[in-house]
């Protein structure tokens, strides 16, 4: 295999990016407060809790109350970051988020770990694959799914300066750190990772690294790939999507989420209305996950680099 | 302390608010008159005597008392009280539930109506929000208080008890929650639908300081709220179990769940208005 255009020396979980980012932003901004529903260790909120005990609120296993508390804490200027698993951050509390946070335009940062299949062995009860869809349907909501430790840390810090509700999604497993430690994080701005001309891969979250590997495989086959990291799924960077689709003529979307409602649909919305373009989805196809090792699950459910390669070849085929 | 003259003034305002409620609901033939009428005395006492509040309205509410209405369907009483308290023109009450109005069926800050800080309507969420606001006040070293009103049927929502447990655990003692115990909900009496059993024992068991009151006696509700304020700052959250009569002030609306969410006819409106004195002017 040809060398990937991005390399790494260390692997780390994106949730640690959140935990470290939270500590850093809390040092800079005294209005940042944290809430956690009995998952402080899993969310990596322990350092924040230790450093700022008076700004940390343990809610117990009561996520609905946590969302309401967070909404109320914004009244008087606080910036609450809630922490629990992605499943309990969205599906369990959809109505609380909808009424008390999104409709009420409250400045709450919903920080969600263990999203998707890579949660692994705990199985489908915890492997939420519908969260991006639920959150991007809500008016006023911003939806962010960074790709590695550094980007998650940068996003965690950046969202404090954005006034309004944010859903920040990250995960459990250790994954390559391949973006820079000092990157600026601009909400809503897609990042062109690799310039190419035959096909565009729009990837988000853990699938960005898979796409980096897929690009190397496709390059060896003589295919020129443009890779764009869509860390912000809402508001989506329509301009970047249209410009790249215009150049390459076909696209692949790659995400650790259901095909329904996620990044793929967000990109399809943009292209259908502006520039109808052949598109292949790399996503979970209307199924629940199961127990297993993260890498095994990503292969079984069609979310790895090999599946991105197949999708890219299909997309190119459809151009003809 | 409220003088006898103060009480009479408050009762006058309450009569006007009750007229507004039945007129608003009649005008659009929708809305919730029963609970609104039942909570009128409490809401008037709160806004015209108890709350330290600023009608120029700052959404952040720093250094003023805050009020959260969890049972958002009784929006007519809140809107009327806010208007008479000076948050917006009384004439705007005529837009209630109509297209392009700031007075939505259930309250929301989204349309920019002064006095509203969070949306409510989907039940069970307001106590959590109020507790969050109360904790922010503590962080901000702001000694003002947070008030919340919940319906009794609403206590069937699990989130209320999550919030109740949280408040006592975290010693949130700058909150006064009031439960409107009218014993009615949409499908019938609370006893029939889902018996709340010993509510006082439940709140006590959750670690709250419990007081009880008659919510349709202005003198008593004022005294009760003043007493509740004296209990704040002692390490425990405070709940006021307030007995009211759904439909209070309009004889044919009282004593039944029937008037939870229906509007009076033209004849019924006339009958209701005959029972309610116009005191500080109809909108």
Question: A288: distance to nearest CA of chain B, Å?
Answer: 28
Whether B43 contacts B69, CB under 8 Å: no
B117 shares contact with chain A (CB less than 8 Å): yes
B166 shares contact with chain A (CB less than 8 Å): yes
Q: Which residues contact A60 (CB under 8 A, 6 or more apart)?
A: A37, A38, B162, B165, B166, B169
CB pairs under 8 A between A and B: 119
Number of structural domains chain B divides into: 1
Q: Collapsing DSSP states into helix, strand and coil, what is residue A141?
A: coil
Q: How far is CA A59 from the centre of its chain?
A: 25
Whether A146 contacts A155, CB under 8 Å: yes
Instruction: Please give the full DSSP string across A24-67, using - where no structure is assigned.
Output: HHHHH-TTEEEEESS-TTTTT-HHHHHH-GGGEEE--S-HHHHH
Give the C-alpha separation, A246 to A220, whole Å: 24
Q: Is residue B138 part of a domain?
A: yes
CATH for B75: 3.40.50.970
What would the pLDDT profile of A16-65 be if each residue is shown by its tens digit? 999 999 999 999 999 999 999 999 999 999 999 999 999 999 999 999 99
Q: Is residue B141 part of a domain?
A: yes
Q: Is residue B279 part of a domain?
A: no
Q: At residue A1, does pLDDT exceed 90? A: no
Across the range A268-295, mean pLDDT stands at 98
Q: Is residue B112 part of a domain?
A: yes
User: In chain B, whose CA is at the least distance from the CA of A64?
Assistant: B159
Q: Which residues of A touch B124 (CB under 8 A)?
A: 64
What would the pLDDT profile of A191-216 be if each residue is shown by its tens digit? 999 999 999 999 999 999 999 999 99
Give the C-alpha separation, B236 to B231, whole Å: 8
Q: Which residues of B touch A165 (CB under 8 A)?
A: none
Give the C-alpha separation, A251 to A83, whole Å: 34
Q: Which residues contact A238 (CB under 8 A, 6 or more apart)?
A: A270, A274
What would the pLDDT profile of B131-187 be if each residue is shown by its tens digit? 999 999 999 999 999 999 999 999 999 999 999 999 999 999 999 999 999 999 999
The answer to which of A83-92, B53-62, B76-85, B252-261 has the lowest mean pLDDT is B252-261
Residues of A with a Cβ under 8 Å from any B Cβ are 33, 54-55, 57, 59-60, 62, 64-78, 80, 95-96, 98-100, 103-106
Q: What is the span of the domain harbouring residue B185?
A: 4-274
N residues, chain A: 320
Q: Is residue B282 part of a domain?
A: no
CA distances from B14 to A256, B64, B80, B91 (A): 57, 23, 10, 17
Question: What percent of chain A has a predicted confidence (pLDDT) above 70?
Answer: 100
Mean pLDDT over the full length of chain A: 98
**Band of pLDDT at residue B4, cut at 50, 70 and 90:** confident
List the one residue out of A8, A303, A7, A12 whose CA is nearest residue A148: A12
pLDDT at A320: 82
List the one residue out of B29, B10, B125, B19 whose CA is nearest residue B77: B19
Q: Mark yes or no for CB contact A57/B170 under 8 Å.
A: yes
Q: Is residue B281 part of a domain?
A: no
Whether A78 contacts B97, CB under 8 Å: no
Q: At residue B255, does pLDDT exceed 90? A: no
What would the pLDDT profile of B183-219 be if each residue is shown by its tens digit? 999 999 999 999 999 999 999 999 999 999 999 999 9
ipTM value of the model? 0.97
Q: Which tokens go with A73?
A: 């804490």
* Domains of chain A and any CATH numbers: 11-176 (3.40.50.970), 191-319 (3.40.50.920)
Q: Are strands A174-176 and A199-203 parallel, antiparallel or unpaired?
A: unpaired
Q: Mark yes or no for CB contact A78/B62 under 8 Å.
A: no
Q: At residue B221, does pLDDT exceed 80? A: yes
Q: Is residue B280 part of a domain?
A: no
CA distances from A171 to A309, B142, B270 (A): 24, 38, 63
Give Rg (Cα) of chain B: 18
Question: What percent of chain A has a predicted confidence (pLDDT) above 90?
Answer: 99
DSSP state of A1: -
Give me the long-range contacts of A28-32 (CB less than 8 A, separation at least 24): A28/A157, A28/A160, A29/A79, A29/A160, A31/A77, A31/A78, A31/A79, A32/A78, A32/A79, A32/A81, A32/A160
Closest Cβ opposite residue B61 in set A59, A75, A98: A75
Q: At residue B1, does pLDDT exceed 70? A: no
Burial of B95 (0-12, 13-18, 19+ CB in 10 A): middle
Q: Mark yes or no for CB contact A96/B159 under 8 Å.
A: yes
Give the C-alpha separation, A206 to A255, whole Å: 7
What would the pLDDT profile of A120-148 be if each residue is shown by its tens digit? 999 999 999 999 999 999 999 999 999 99
């Amino acid at each position: 295999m040809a060398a990937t255009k991005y390399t790494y020396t260390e692997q780390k979980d994106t949730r640690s990016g959140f935990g470290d980012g939270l500590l850093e932003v809390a040092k800079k901004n005294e209005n940042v407060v944290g809430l956690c529903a009995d998952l402080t260790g899993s969310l990596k909120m322990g350092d924040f809790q230790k450093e700022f005990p008076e700004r940390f609120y343990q809610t117990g296993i009561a996520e609905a109350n946590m969302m309401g508390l967070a909404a109320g804490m914004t009244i008087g200027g606080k910036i609450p970051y809630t922490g629990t698993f992605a499943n309990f951050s969205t599906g369990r509390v959809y109505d609380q988020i909808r009424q008390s946070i999104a409709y009420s335009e409250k400045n709450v940062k919903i920080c969600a770990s263990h999203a998707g299949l890579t949660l692994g062995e705990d199985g489908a009860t915890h492997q939420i694959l519908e969260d991006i869809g639920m959150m991007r349907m809500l008016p006023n909501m911003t939806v962010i799914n960074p790709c590695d430790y550094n980007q998650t840390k940068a996003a965690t810090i950046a969202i404090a300066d954005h006034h309004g509700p944010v859903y920040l999604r990250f995960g459990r497993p250790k994954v390559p750190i391949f973006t820079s430690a000092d990157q600026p994080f601009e909400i809503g701005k897609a990042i062109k990772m690799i310039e190419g001309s035959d096909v565009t891969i729009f990837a988000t979250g853990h699938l960005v690294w898979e796409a980096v590997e897929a690009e190397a495989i496709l390059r060896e086959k003589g295919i020129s790939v443009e890779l764009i990291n869509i860390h912000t799924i809402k508001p989506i960077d329509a301009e970047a999507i249209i410009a790249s689709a215009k150049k390459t003529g076909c696209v692949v979307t790659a995400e650790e989420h259901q095909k329904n409602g996620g990044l793929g649909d967000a990109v399809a919305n943009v292209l259908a209305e502006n520039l109808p373009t052949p598109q292949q989805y790399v996503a979970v196809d209307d199924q629940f996950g199961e127990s297993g090792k993260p890498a095994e699950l990503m292969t079984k459910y069609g979310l790895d680099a090999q599946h991105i390669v197949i999708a890219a070849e299909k997309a190119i085929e459809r151009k003809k | 302390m409220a003088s006898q003259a103060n009480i009479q003034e408050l009762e006058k305002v309450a009569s006007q608010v009750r007229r507004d409620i039945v007129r608003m609901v009649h005008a659009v033939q929708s809305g919730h008159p029963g609970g609104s009428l039942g909570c009128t005395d409490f809401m008037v006492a709160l806004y015209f005597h108890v709350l330290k509040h600023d009608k120029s309205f700052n959404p952040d509410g720093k250094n003023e008392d805050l009020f959260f209405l969890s049972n958002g369907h009784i929006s007519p009483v809140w809107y009327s009280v806010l208007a008479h308290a000076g948050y917006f023109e009384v004439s705007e009450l005529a837009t209630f539930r109509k297209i392009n109005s700031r007075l939505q069926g259930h309250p929301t800050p989204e349309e920019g109506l002064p006095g509203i800080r969070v949306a409510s309507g989907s039940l069970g969420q307001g106590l959590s929000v109020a507790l969050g606001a109360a904790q922010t006040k503590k962080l901000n070293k702001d000694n003002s208080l947070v008030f919340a009103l919940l319906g009794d049927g609403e206590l069937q929502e699990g989130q209320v008890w999550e919030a109740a447990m949280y408040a006592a655990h975290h010693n949130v003692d700058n909150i006064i929650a009031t439960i409107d115990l009218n014993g009615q909900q949409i499908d019938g009496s609370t006893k029939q639908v889902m018996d709340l059993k010993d509510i006082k024992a439940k709140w006590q068991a959750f670690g709250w300081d419990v007081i009880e009151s008659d919510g349709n006696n202005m003198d008593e509700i004022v005294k009760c709220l003043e007493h509740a304020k004296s209990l704040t700052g002692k390490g425990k959250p405070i709940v006021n179990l307030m007995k009211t009569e759904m439909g209070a002030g309009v004889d044919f609306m009282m004593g039944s769940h029937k008037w939870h969410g229906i509007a009076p006819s033209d004849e019924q409106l006339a009958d209701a208005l005959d029972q309610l004195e116009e005191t500080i002017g109809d909108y």
